Structures are given as C-alpha cells and as structure tokens.
Amino acid sequence: MKPLKHVDSNMNNLISDLQTLIRQPSVSAKNEGIEECARLVKKMLNKSGIKSEILRLGKGVAPLVYGEVKSKKNNSKTLMFYNHYDVQPAEPFDLWDYPPFSGKIKGNKIFGRGATDDKGELITRIKAVEAHLKTTGDVPCNVKFVIEGEEETGSAHIDQYLKKYKKKFACDGVIWEFGYVDSKNRPIVGLGMKGLLFVELSIRESIRDAHSSLAVLIKNPAWRLIDAVKTLRDSDGKILIKDWYREVTPFSKEDLKLIAKEPFDEKSFKKEFGVKSFVSHKRGFDAKKALAGDATCNIAGFISGYAGEGAKTVLPGEALVKIDFRLVPKMKPKKQVQRLKEHLKSKGFSDVKIKVFHGEAAARTKPSDPFVSKVKEAADESFGNSILNVSNAGTGPMYSFAENLGAPCISIGSTYIFSRIHSPNEFARVDLLKKTTKCICLIMDKFAKG
C-alpha cells in the first residue's frame, strides 16, 4: 500500500514536525502558550492538506482546533480523531535530563513534555492523513480532527464544544487521543473509560482549633468525619450508598471472554507498587475484572489538625476529606451525588458539607461493534499483534463523544506504558510513532470499506 511506504520514507518529516510542536510550550494549567500552540497546530494541519480553523466558546476557554478532509468518494463514512494540544506542566525542571521543551533526540527516543501525551499521538494522525493525500490525492474516508486545549486540566468545556458543534462534528467513529503499548510492544485497543466523581466532604465543629484537654466537651470533627466516611464503603471495597449500583449491568459474555484473554502480570504489578495483596484478596481474573469494571470510593486525601513533626495536643476545628469515585457505565454523576447526599442525611450526617469538583460518566464501545474488528485488524497488521481491552481503569471524556455524536470510540496509539507521561523525561519512541501512523493509515482504509 502506497501510503505505508510513504510513512516509511518520511519519518524525518514526522520527527521534525513533532519537535516543532514540543518546542511550543502549551501548559493549560498555567495558560502558557495555549493560543500560540492552537495557531501552530492549525498551520500544521493546513500544511498537511487538512483544511482547518480555530473554534471558540468565549473568553477564558481554550480554543479548539478543528480540521477536515472530505473524501472524493461519494457516501464515504467519517472518521474523527480526537486529540489535545495542551500538556502537563514540566515541573520539576531539575529532574529533566534535557530541557523539557527542546525535543531532544537520543537514539530511538524523542524527549520533551508532550512528546507522547499528546503531541506524539496527534502527529501520527496528521501524518497518516497526509500519507494518503500525498500518494493517492484523496482520503479513503472523510476525516475530522477535534483537537482541544484543556484535556490536562479535565476537559472542562469539551462537552459544550460537542453540543455547540454537533452537526459539524458528526461522524461514524472516533479514534481516541491515546492508546497504550505494553512492555511487550503490544498495542492495547481500548474500548472504554471509567467515569469519575470527585467530591470534598467537610465538617466544621468549632470556629477555631482548641487545646485538646477540651476534648471532653468539644466534639472532634475528625472523629465525626471518620464515622461518616466509614459508612460509605465496606472493607472489601463495596460501596454502601443506597442504590449506588442500581442501573449498572453486569459484563456480557463477550466482555468476560476478552477480559479472560487480556494479559496481566500480577507478580510484577505487585512488585512495582510494593504491595503484597489486592483489595478483597482479588487475584488473576478477578483483578482484571475489577480494573475494567469495578466502581471505587477512594480517599484521595484527609486533612485535619496537626500532622507535622513531633507532638501537638490540639483539637481541630475542622476536618476535610477528598474522595474520588470511579464510575462505571450507566452511573450518572448528578444522580450519584444526590444518592451520596441522601445517604449521609439518612445516616445522621446532615452536618457534612459536600462540594462537588468534577463529574463525568463512563463510556464503553461494545466488542461486537464492527468498528472494533477494523481497528483490531489494522493494529495486528501494523504491530504484529494487539490486545483488546474492555475498559481502561482511568477516566476521559469519552461519554461526551459517545453521547453527543452517537459514534463508537476506540483508543489506539503509540503511548509506551513506561514513556513517563506527566513526569520528567517524558519521551516518544520513534518505532512506535511509525507503527501507529501506519496503523491509522490502515484504519482509514478499512473503515471506508463497509
């Protein structure tokens, strides 16, 4: 296939364009270089033959770069690439071996913040489309690019963009912004993401901290908050809030088959974290099932009183806990917040204040969707083999895409699991960038054919 040969002989181009992207900092958390990077991405799309424009929602919202190529074939289907041009902050700078925005090349690796997440992934999509255009003068299917600038701060406005531009963004399938490649160089074809509900629970008992001798009279809010939190979950991880799991449906037979097939190196996983056993003594298949499909109630932080050096006999005036709940399909964040409120009230904890930071539903594409086999075939051809994953244990705004566009979403990409994304010395692997670009070329081809 001509486009694949084109990818092989144009890797230098891909690498230098990726370096250009890395050299433009675009840290959404600090609003650093966001406008500049959006303009750079637009220019790069145009250069590759992808008609592009910058879309806006208003002040204080990062612009979204939109790109489109229409196939000359009639009735062609439309494939969307969802990516992001923003990156995580590069701090701590002194832990980097090369400056984080240099795009330094060392052997098979390109170093820099965003080298993989997500500028590396984005460049594979752009170059795949370019390879088709350069060698055939056309694309096998219509393509659309939606490249946002707020992913690393939680994609706060992607849902609004999707609603506002629903017609413009209409498509038949979405290729997600990343895809993991495991330690044995097998790409993970990911079919879902969990949802997330992040809340803060707090209790203020007195207007200030007091001498702890007064604990005989003044109630300690830390004790009270511990009592409240203990009602949320049992020691096996099961959430005890009434109706929490009500709408959840069990895994299908198909799902279970895929989970059984997925590799999971329990020993090295435990070694990596220095843990001896898992929650509820899960092992093997049950551990894999939990990663793909269990809801969680996790204490992310608990603050009260004094936890510094030495002793301080203090009675805190306030206690605060941050909790993240991973949600599974059919759990609606708003409804779950309501259930949490009712639960605390019914247990006698109406004095607990609830602050909601973030709510996002889970999404999954069915393994039987025809889009899945096409992506899997393309991945097998390009990488030699691949692994189907029912759902990632993490969260992304996949539900917004699936819901607003009514299109299946699949993640596939070049993100080597040890590529230190979000950490110092993030890098992309040139061999994986090449394989992924070819894989995307093949996906476009297969997607067009039925």
- Give contact residues for Zn ion (rule: CB under 5 A): 117
Query: Could you tell me which residues come within 8 angstroms of residue 314 by beta carbon, excluding any fewer than 6 positions away?
Result: 209, 210, 211, 212, 305, 306
Of the pair 71, 124, the CB lying nearest Zn ion is at 124
Of the pair 117, 150, the CB lying nearest Zn ion is at 117
Q: How many CB atoms lie within 10 A of CB 237?
A: 16
Of the pair 130, 150, the CB lying nearest Zn ion is at 150
Burial code of 240-262, b = ≥16 C-beta within 10 A, e = fewer?
ebeebeeeeeebeeebbebbeeb
Distance CA 171, CA 407 (A): 7
Smallest distance, Å, CB 116 to Zn ion? 9
The token duo for 344 is 């605390």
Of the pair 117, 294, the CB lying nearest Zn ion is at 117
Give the closest residue to 126 by CA, choosing from 21, 54, 26: 21
Smallest distance, Å, CB 115 to Zn ion? 12
Smallest distance, Å, CB 281 to Zn ion? 32
DSSP alpha helix (H) spans, 294-397:
333-346, 370-383
Of the pair 156, 248, the CB lying nearest Zn ion is at 156
DSSP alpha helix (H) spans, 168-322:
221-230, 253-261, 266-273, 284-293
Smallest distance, Å, CB 187 to Zn ion? 18
Of the pair 125, 289, the CB lying nearest Zn ion is at 125
Smallest distance, Å, CB 289 to Zn ion? 26
Smallest distance, Å, CB 88 to Zn ion? 6
Smallest distance, Å, CB 433 to Zn ion? 17
Strands 192-204 and 142-148, by their bridges, are: unpaired
Q: Which long-range contacts (CB under 8 A, 24 or more apart) does 272-277 make?
A: none
Of the pair 88, 142, the CB lying nearest Zn ion is at 88
Smallest distance, Å, CB 321 to Zn ion? 26
**Bridge partners of residue 175, in order along the sequence:** 81, 410
Q: In this structure, are residues 333 and 197 in contact, taking their beta carbons and an 8 Å threshold?
A: yes
Distance CA 123, CA 52 (A): 15
Q: In this structure, are residues 67 and 147 in contact, taking their beta carbons and an 8 Å threshold?
A: yes
Of the pair 117, 324, the CB lying nearest Zn ion is at 117
Distance CA 130, CA 123 (A): 10
Of the pair 91, 172, the CB lying nearest Zn ion is at 91
Tell me the residue nearest to Zn ion as measured from the CB.
Answer: 117
DSSP 262: S
Smallest distance, Å, CB 7 to Zn ion? 25
Q: In this structure, are residues 205 and 221 in contact, taking their beta carbons and an 8 Å threshold?
A: yes
The token duo for 390 is 């029912």
Of the pair 103, 396, the CB lying nearest Zn ion is at 396
Smallest distance, Å, CB 306 to Zn ion? 35
Smallest distance, Å, CB 159 to Zn ion? 18
**Omega before 118 within 30 of 0, i.e. cis:** yes
Distance CA 330, CA 250 (A): 11
Q: In this structure, are residues 319 and 203 in contact, taking their beta carbons and an 8 Å threshold?
A: yes
Of the pair 152, 445, the CB lying nearest Zn ion is at 152
